[in-house]
Amino acid sequence: MAETIQVEVVYARPERQEVASISLPAGSTVGQAIEASGLLAKHPEIDLARNKLGIYAKLAKVDTALRDRDRVEIYRPLIADPKEVRKQRAAEGKAMKKGGGESE
């Protein structure tokens, strides 16, 4: 009997998280797990060439080999660059301090 591994494939949507628990032959890759999960058919917006992938929050490539009980994660593209958002917040904070009235 061929050895199998248990893997979860997760895709977080803004409204809810999709989780697929699947069995695969030992030595399967991240890409094979995503294909077998059925999430690509359910969510046509997933593009394995563009979406980042990970195993337990560590970035992984499509051809990364999986181990038993791994959690494969499909990440959505960022809407805003976190560095730009921080810069904007910092600039807004400075403006608020400057116009915050006189202190004695």
The predicted-structure confidence for 40-52, as pLDDT tens digits, reads as follows: 999 999 999 889 9
Residue with tokens 């051809």: 63
Residue 25, CA distances (Å) to 28, 41, 67 in order: 6, 21, 10
How far apart, in whole angstroms, are the C-alpha atoms of residue 102 and residue 104? 7
| pTM, to two decimals | 0.74
Mean pLDDT of the chain: 88
Which amino acid would we find at residue 87? K
Q: Does domain 4-78 have CATH number 3.30.70.330?
A: no
Would the pLDDT of 24 be above 70? yes
Residue 70 Cα to chain centre, angstroms? 14
User: What one-character DSSP code corresponds to residue 64?
Assistant: P
Closest among 4, 3, 5, 10 to 71, alpha carbons compared: 10
Per-residue pLDDT band for 85 (boundaries 50, 70, 90) equals confident
Predicted confidence band at 21 (pLDDT cuts at 50, 70, 90)? Answer: very high
Strand 71-74 and strand 17-25: the pairing is: unpaired
